[in-house]
Amino acid sequence: MGRLIYFSAFAALLLLTSCGDNSEQVDSGADSSDAMFMAEIGRIYGFKCAICHGKKGRSVIKTAPHLTESTMSFNERVAIIKYGKTTMPPQKDVLDVKTIEGLAKYIESFKE
């Protein structure tokens, strides 16, 4: 009987450690693809947005606000990128939702 308890404890331990390993693998996979995704978003920002908003969010045309000073919420940024406003061109037929949300997130890294 004592031996059975010892064995189950050992089996439970094995089960726990193998679960831990699995979740670690999933995490590190997501991290590297996130970094890849954000690098791609940075590239898209560079040729779609930087012409007006500057490479680092300091705008280069008079009418465009500095993104470094944006006080918009994430959802407001997604909306303005999707639908545009005045001279800002809408992106909803050009970029997919995931990319637009990525851009809205990317802009946050400009905040000073």
Contacts to ligand HEC by CB under 6 A:
48-49, 51-53, 63-65, 67, 70, 72, 77, 80-81, 85-89, 91, 103, 107
Q: In angstroms, rounded to a whole number, what is the distance separating the alpha carbons of residues 34 and 21? A: 20
Closest separation in Å from C-beta 72 to ligand HEC: 4
Nearer to ligand HEC, 23 or 86 (CB): 86
Helix or strand (DSSP H, E) at 76: helix 74-83
Nearer to ligand HEC, 20 or 90 (CB): 90
Closest separation in Å from C-beta 95 to ligand HEC: 7
Residues 6 or more apart in contact with residue 101 via CB below 8 angstroms: 78
Nearer to ligand HEC, 18 or 63 (CB): 63
Neighbours of 106 (CB within 10 A): 20
Closest separation in Å from C-beta 51 to ligand HEC: 5
CA distance to 17, 20, 110, per residue, from 14 (Å): 5, 10, 45
